[in-house]
Amino acid sequence: MPLRTPFTAEALVTSEGPAQRRAIAKTITLLESTRADHRAQADELLTALLPHTGKSFRLGISGVPGVGKSTFIEALGLYLIGRGHRVAVLTIDPSSTVSGGSILGDKTRMEKLSIDERAYIRPSPSSGTLGGVAEKTREAMLVCEAAGYDIVIVETVGVGQSETAVSGMTDMFVLLQLPNAGDDLQAIKKGVMELADLVVINKADLDKDAATRAQAQITSALRLFGHHGNPAHAHVVHGSHGGHGTAAPEAQWQPKVIQLSALVGTGVDAFWDAVLEFKSVQTANGRLAARREKQALAWMWERIDAGLKQAFRQHPAVRELLPQAIAQVAAGTLPASTAARNLLASQAGQA
Amino acid sequence: MPLRTPFTAEALVTSEGPAQRRAIAKTITLLESTRADHRAQADELLTALLPHTGKSFRLGISGVPGVGKSTFIEALGLYLIGRGHRVAVLTIDPSSTVSGGSILGDKTRMEKLSIDERAYIRPSPSSGTLGGVAEKTREAMLVCEAAGYDIVIVETVGVGQSETAVSGMTDMFVLLQLPNAGDDLQAIKKGVMELADLVVINKADLDKDAATRAQAQITSALRLFGHHGNPAHAHVVHGSHGGHGTAAPEAQWQPKVIQLSALVGTGVDAFWDAVLEFKSVQTANGRLAARREKQALAWMWERIDAGLKQAFRQHPAVRELLPQAIAQVAAGTLPASTAARNLLASQAGQA
């Protein structure tokens, strides 16, 4: 198939309506292609788009199945559209990396939002490692930003390591919780709670007492576990944003817990107020910019590591020697460090 | 300096007394050398030693500064020597990877144990990354095993990531705690508690009530956080050890909390009884062998990853391009994934 270029970066940025939606879809399809020539074209396009990116607010949302993510995101999306925003919803579904099919990919989950032309909903890339899926989603986020979507929501289900991936590509990470006590302990145990900038107790209308109890418990847990937990929050990458010795500390965001009922439509405005407050605090103290810079560099190194591992495993000499090395190391007849050195030498052509 | 080989693997295994101590020290020094010819000799020696290794019980011990690790390990070491064991004590000091000096390296910390010829005490390797230091310590452990030490204690201070490294090279990971309430929360927060097979509340004589309270709290925390936390415990690597569908479950170790006072010498026997019970349970259910196999393979991959990263960073083309790539990615003028692909291509000679 010859490589067609039906649009340029500029066309994607300036087009509107259905033409732009088609351009976005084609660009993302190009980004997800594994063909080398497509990838080269995608890299070129992405670099051309880059000056038009970064102007959206990037909101990560996670929560266990049943917490009501779709209902919440649809309510939020409609609320934001009503206030003049354009909203893109991207999804990282860790199950898709195993099954090739996405449990979150069904657009009918957000019926009203998906038919609104001010919203763009894209299901999870449906194959590859979690790292690969996350990379495609990061790139799709840039495409949506270049197309003028000023709110990008990246959603993931609260299983596996995908929360860390979403937290690592967004300005703010929101954790949805149910109003019961066991739930938050799981999130603490898995280290997800400490990623959260905001915890939303959804379905609070079901049991107001339980929701209030959960709010108190999670607030107390965040105080214990959340404050210094996330390096992306705890450190400012570069110098000019305070943190020098005894300089006056700038305002710091303290993770919050709020109640909400997406189904009956209460609390979405309070949620958005909290998001805007977060954005304002993080912009003033420089952490929004620092977090993005840190994320971009971490993303670069993550992709380098993945590329190095892939090249290693695909190297003919390594492929030939690896099965025996694994068997010998497992059987205890070859020291692990010696096996590693031998395999590295074989890749380098020194064996 | 010409490479001298004053001993063979066989000599190290069969020698005794001061001659063997010198052979151990020289071997470990050889292992820690960064010279390529030394490393090749070390690999050869290590492979020859391997059939003589694996017969010790490997005990990891961690705890924050001031918890009384040295006093505890000395009391334990003397107790074990009195029961006919030979005890090696190795140390991983994460601070040594920064400063080049070891805060734990002082042999005078264990005065009585260090002069006993049935004990061998080796301070932390004093340079390199934590991964590199951990590798040297793993190799030193094998040398001590080959020399007939049947208990190897690997100690680390409870800061940084060194607990994970120690847990990843030992059969059993013990966490020492002080009898106060804030301490255990820190360990939970950092994910160390879930690594623990046994928690020892040391200095229990100082405040018996506090120690009993801490014991109850940590027991309850282990029930919440410890059980499924450690993959090395939660999964058996290979098939023959049960876990198939509805087969009768074999006995599983449940992490315990005990009180002890190393200074006044109470509780060391109860501690050792718990260790022997752990060893017995883990041997019967196959998890001791599975954990070692899994550790060896993880170690191999960890060293491969480290080697790949090092080769990448040292590649001339990468060194030339990396500073600009980092600057552009940080400034947002080059997509991170494109930068990664460009750098990988430059290493592969395709740029």
- Mutate which of B300, B302, B321, B328 to disrupt the A interface (most A C-beta within 10 Å)? B300
Model confidence pLDDT, tens digit, residues B304-331: 999 999 999 999 999 999 999 999 999 9
Q: Minimal CA–CA distance to B12: which of B49, B50, B41? A: B49
On chain B, the residues whose CB falls within 8 A of the CB of A129 are none
Residue A140: its pLDDT value, please? 94
- Position B245 scores a pLDDT of 43
Question: B308 contacts in A (CB within 8 Å)?
Answer: 305, 308-309, 312, 344
Domains, chain B, with CATH or none? 54-285 (3.40.50.300)
Contact: A138, B336; criterion CB under 8 Å: yes
Residue A89, beta-bridge partner list: A121, A153
Query: From CA A142, how far away is CA A50, in angstroms rounded?
Result: 7
- CB of B86 within 8 A of CB of B77? no
pLDDT exceeds cutoff 50 at A188: yes
Q: With cut-offs at 50, 70 and 90, classify the pLDDT of residue A9.
A: confident
Query: Closest-CA residue in chain B for A312?
Result: B308
- pLDDT digits over B144-193, tens only? 999 999 999 999 987 668 888 999 999 999 999 888 755 556 666 667 78
A·B CB contacts under 8 A:
143
| Residue range A302-306: mean pLDDT, rounded | 91
A132 pLDDT tier (thresholds 50, 70, 90): confident
C-beta of residue A205 within 8 angstroms of C-beta of residue A264? yes
Q: How sure is the predictor about A160, in pLDDT bands with cuts at 50, 70 and 90?
A: low
CB contact under 8 A, A335 and B46: yes
CB contact under 8 A, B341 and A307: yes
Better pLDDT: A238 or B121: B121
Residues of A in contact with B227 (CB under 8 A): none
- Contact list in B for residue A324 (CB cut-off 8 A) is none
State how far residue A347 is from chain B, nearest Cα, in angstroms: 10
Nearest to A335 among B39, B142, B194 (CB): B142
Q: What is the ipTM of this complex?
A: 0.78
Percentage above 70 pLDDT, chain A? 83
Q: Which residue has the tokens 């690997």?
A: B154
Mean pLDDT of A7-25: 88
Q: Do A139 and B47 touch (CB under 8 A)?
A: no
Query: Could B329 and A300 be called an inter-chain contact, meaning their C-beta atoms sit closer than 8 Å?
Result: yes
CA distance A228 to chain B (A): 10
A303 → closest Cβ in B312, B332, B336: B336
Question: Over 80: is that where the pLDDT of A108 sits?
Answer: no
DSSP-based three-state secondary structure for A246: coil
Higher pLDDT, B88 or A348: B88
CA angle A13, A19, A25 (to 5 degrees): 75
In this predicted structure, what is the pLDDT of residue A244? 42
Q: Do B300 and A138 make contact, defined as CB atoms within 8 angstroms?
A: no
A229, pLDDT greater than 80: no
Rounded CA-CA distance B61/B156 in Å is 6
Q: Which of B50, B51, B344 sits opposite A307 (nearest CB)?
A: B344
Chain A closest-CA separation from residue B207 CA (Å): 25
pLDDT of residue A181: 54
CB contact under 8 A, B138 and A340: no
**What pLDDT score does A1 carry?**
43
Nearest chain B residue to A318 by CA: give it. Answer: B304
Q: How far apart are CA A1 and CA A38, in angstroms?
A: 11
Top-confidence range, A87-96, A223-232, B104-113: A87-96
Buried b (16+ CB within 10 A) or exposed e, A112-138: ebbeeeebbbbbbbbbbebbbbbbbbb
Nearest partner of A348 among B175, B315, B281, judged by Cα: B315
Contacts of A139 in chain B (CB under 8 A): 335, 337
pLDDT attached to residue B13: 92
Q: Are A58 and A141 in contact (CB under 8 A)?
A: yes
pLDDT in tens, A137-152: 999 999 999 999 999 9
Whole-number Å distance between alpha carbons of B110 and B117: 13
Interchain CB distance below 8 Å, B297 and A326? yes
| Closest residue in B to A341 (Cα–Cα) | B304
Residues of chain B with pLDDT below 70 are 1-7, 96-108, 159-160, 181-190, 224-249, 351
B333 and A51 within 8 Å at the Cβ level: the answer is yes
Mutate to test the interface with A, among B338, B342, B343, B344 (most CBs of A within 10 A): B338
A208-222 pLDDT tens trace: 888 888 888 888 877
